[in-house]
Chains A and B, each alone.
Chain A
Amino acid sequence: AQSVTQLGSHVSVSEGALVLLRCNYSSSVPPYLFWYVQYPNQGLQLLLKYTTGATLVKGINGFEAEFKKSETSFHLTKPSAHMSDAAEYFCAVGTGNQFYFGTGTSLTVIP
């Protein structure tokens, strides 16, 4: 069975500080990896995804993530946090015919 682990259900950063949200996965086959963001009372919005090719993936809103096969990780980063980044972030693995989501990380940005 696939699993996606997001370390830290709640992360707080100061405005302007580095954002680092962690995601580790278990997969017996090469996975496809996604990060989604969810704002209150809204659905999920795709931030970025890794399918093949370059392991450093750039997404919207200044976010990027790096696929590290040896570490089975796909951590999400942003150099400088903005107040508008406060939201719930979900890492997901696509493999086989299904998606598997992590339990989410709630990001708080402190002014």
Chain B
Amino acid sequence: KAGVTQTPRYLIKTRGQQVTLSCSPISGHRSVSWYQQTPGQGLQFLFEYFSETQRNKGNFPGRFSGRQFSNSRSEMNVSTLELGDSALYLCASSLRWGLAGGQETQYFGPGTRLLVL
């Protein structure tokens, strides 16, 4: 079974631009979560989508948004990029939404490394 795939793997943008990242979950998985990983803040939860609906959201500004399609593929969008948005963005998929109260195993993709200049 194929793992979680993310595209693109690397991206360079300039301040003020917007960016869209894509994530394809493991076949059969309907939940997709997004995380931002930076050296200073570590791994921070962005949001979770299940059945095309955002189910949970972390503490990030509205510039960060996402969506999920009927095939469970998800996209994340960041508008008006700032230097501090430079990070590794990780996508994770799982079977059940809400992480089943926290016990669900998440399977991570390799990430998209975004550099904002």
Give A contacts to B, CB under 8 Å. Answer: 31-32, 34, 36, 41-46, 49, 51, 90, 93-104
A93 close to B42 (CB less than 8 A):
no
Interchain pairs with CB closer than 8 A, number: 64
B65, CB-defined interface residue at 8 Å: no
Number of B interface residues in the complex (CB < 8 A): 26
Q: Beta-carbon contacts of B63-105 to A below 8 Å, as 1s and 0s?
A: 0000000000000000000000000001010000011011111
Closest-by-CB residue of B relative to A51 is B103
B45 close to A43 (CB less than 8 A):
no
B110 close to A97 (CB less than 8 A):
no
Q: Chain A: interface secondary structure?
A: strand
Specify which chain A residues have a CB less than 8 angstroms from the CB of B103 in the assembled complex: 32, 49, 51, 94
Provide 22 A-B residue pairs closer than 8 Å at the C-beta atoms, listed in order of the A residue.
A31-B102, A34-B105, A42-B110, A43-B4, A43-B108, A44-B92, A46-B106, A49-B103, A93-B102, A94-B101, A94-B103, A95-B101, A95-B102, A96-B102, A97-B98, A98-B99, A98-B102, A99-B99, A99-B102, A102-B42, A104-B42, A104-B43
